[in-house]
Structure 1
């Protein structure tokens, strides 16, 4: 029996409207565009971030936007 392949994609950014259209949120914008293009489910709150789950290329996929400030997470 073959194990299911799982993938995790994380887009880094800073939460809050003051960072929305800044270079600090390029990672958020990239994963948002990917989720929209691939018609994955909308992001929903999970733990300390926002998550979308679906399939891509035959693998289970989770896309995450952590809601921690970059200075706090490194």
Structure 2
């Protein structure tokens, strides 16, 4: 699971939360719970997958992560 892999990275605990609560790791934990439901539209995560597959820069990949947790 890409979301859990990103959540496990030390940088996810250092980056600020999109929601201003704690850190990005917490946002990713919430997203992971939501991804596991039947209500999640997997198309929402495809820009992140595509950025990873294209081996984009960290800035672009984390930007896609922030867009995803903002929805």
Normalising by structure 1, we get a TM-score of 0.33
Q: Which has the higher contact order (CA 8 A, sep 6+)?
A: 1
Normalising by structure 2, we get a TM-score of 0.34
The structure richer in helix per residue is: 2
The structure richer in strand per residue is: 1
